[in-house]
A and B are shown apart, each in its own frame.
Chain A
Amino acid sequence: MKTAIFKVVKSGLQTTVQDLGREGYQQYGISPSGAMDHFSMQIANILVGNRLGEAVLEAAFVGPELEALCDMTVAICGGEFSPIVDGWKVPMWKSFLLKKGQLLSIGPCGSGARTYIAAAGGYDVPLVLGSKSTFLSSRFGGYDGRALKKGDMLSGFPFVQKPFKRLPLSLIPQYTKQLNVRVILGPHEERFDEESIKRFFTEKYLVTPQSNRMGYQLKGPKVEHITGPDIISDPVPFGGIQVPASGQPIILMADRQTTGGYTRIGTVISADLPLIAQAVPDTNITFSMVSIEEAQRLYLERRMLLKHLAIAAKNQEPSFSK
């Protein structure tokens, strides 16, 4: 039954409703949006007994404070945001019971940049073009097309899912400020000189504060073009690495424009996108080149893992329970 589940006491820095994104409308210039870190978001759903693609709350850098308006199972996965319930620390990557009247405070990030709050039964916001994701710059989707504000009421179809579950320790990602990220070369590799490509794949690039849901501005050794940075505009995927005239790469993320007019040296592989999504400013990134075959193998491995975990959670396999 549809019920109010949370009252927003504090909004956090930027808390939005996100699912796996809006598919099928890029031909009209509409970005997919969706969770930046698909891995943490799907694990959070698995732990509370939701389907993998159910909408969650994505909190960036500083989390919200939410008052529970009913009993429900909740899980928080992603960046370490030190969640607290009524003064008591609660673990991440584990489902727990949140009781009516309790206050869930998600702190500032200790490690990682984004954390995901899944509630059993999901969040009830209208589907816009088949998705519950918030697209901030065009102000639609999610909760009124915007980030949450103090006083907002979220509703859902809450239930209590028992026994509580935790993700095996070995599967919990460790977020560090030294990342190696794998990249598929192209599609405009012929527009860069060989030296620059070599440099891009050996030197360190720093994440700058100019990083958000649209893209991450990096700083590092200049990537030089042979004939300038402009291309005939073409479609841009999640993780595309654009190099404008400055020679400083930008990784394009969930709220990117659907097409772009600058050369792209490569695309971050799907399996490593969650690392970027969790990278805070001053993180050092090195890039290594992988083949499309290797990238797809890694993608399928990740996908299988999520499917297995979902089944194990459903069957209440012991490795998974409390």
Chain B
Amino acid sequence: MIEIKPLGDKAIKVSFGKEISEMIHQKIKQFITQLEAANIIGIIELVPAYNSVAIYYQPEFISFNVLVNRIKKIYKTFGIEAPVQSIVYEIPVYYGGATGPDLSYIADYHKMSKEDVIELHSSQEYLIYMLGFVPGFPYLGGLPKKLAVPRLEHPRPSVAAGSVGIGGNQTGIYPSVVPSGWRILGVTPVTLFDIKKTPPSLFSTGNYIKFDPIDGDEFTRIKQLVNERKYTVKTYRKGLGE
């Protein structure tokens, strides 16, 4: 069942459940596809989140009550579409060193070797549930419990763009310089957010990220290509029915 609530007088929140799960995420993805296909006049934008979607609209074209009825109708004829194909972005990451200052902490915390931490962290396909916090920042799901670590007691006033971190049971990658209390285990040379591109964000909700460990030389080589705008992020299609 869905729950529909006003989010002020120009937006609606449609909730799909009380928890975070891939199943709910898939439902939201399908709902958005169908809502877009319905081409409802007055809708400005759809913003997916973990277990809800916000629909921003113009009340001069469609009222709250009419929009709620349209949404309910769309929901009734739901679930007949083929699953939406996702892609996986392969993000090169230079783990450890000065740009991954907390790798040792994470290894010590779990009594693992640094190599094991890198191996485990880079062997997952992390689902992008939503983007937020700062432009282009992906909220990821799928961090192995064995890698969860407490946040820093004193957050760093800034971490470099491209930093990959773990905070609690979440992992993520920062597109721009931000203050952060997460443990930083590496950095990517790839540009994740470029305002000159449309869309400016490399990532989009519903796709996946896989980290690919690289060494310092490879980092320098890729960074060079990125600066010359010659680097393209590798992607592959996510296997269906997994």
Q: Which of chain A's residues have a CB closer than 8 A to the CB of B5?
A: 186-187
Residues of B1-57 whose CB lies within 8 A of A? 5-11, 13, 19-20, 44-54, 56
| Cβ contact within 8 Å between A295 and B200 | no
Q: What's the least CB distance linking B32 to chain A, in Å?
A: 9
Cβ of A195: which chain B residues have Cβ within 8 Å of it?
none
CA distance A300 to B59 in the complex (A): 7
A237 / chain B contacts, CB cutoff of 8 Å? 7-8, 10-11, 54, 56
**CB within 8 Å of A: which B168-200 residues:** 176, 195, 198-200
In angstroms, Cα B201 to Cα A303, docked, is 33
Count residues of chain A with CB under 8 A from any CB of chain B. 38
What chain A residues lie within 8 Å of B6 (beta carbons)? 184, 186-187, 267, 292
Q: Are B63 and A234 in contact (CB under 8 A)?
A: no
List B contacts of A186 (CB < 8 A).
5-7
Partner of B47 from A26, A269, A293 at Cβ < 8 Å: A26
Residue from the list A30, A257, A296 in contact with B200, Cβ < 8 A: A30
On whether the beta carbons of B10 and A270 are closer than 8 Å, the reply is yes
- B205 close to chain A: CB less than 8 A: yes
Q: Chain A nearest CB: distance from B219 CB in Å?
A: 25
Q: Which residues from chain B contact A315 at a C-beta distance below 8 Å?
A: none
Interface-lining segment among B108-116, B133-141, B208-216? B133-141
Chain B residues within CB distance 8 Å of chain A: 5-11, 13, 19-20, 44-54, 56, 59-60, 63-65, 130-137, 139, 176, 195, 198-201, 204-205
* 10 closest Cβ pairs, A-B complex: A267-B8, A259-B132, A235-B54, A295-B9, A28-B201, A29-B131, A235-B47, A187-B5, A296-B59, A292-B6
Other than the given A24-B44, A257-B133, A257-B134, 20 more pairs (CB < 8 A) read A23-B56, A26-B54, A27-B131, A29-B131, A29-B133, A30-B201, A128-B195, A129-B195, A186-B7, A187-B5, A233-B50, A234-B50, A235-B52, A237-B10, A258-B47, A267-B6, A268-B8, A270-B9, A292-B9, A292-B64
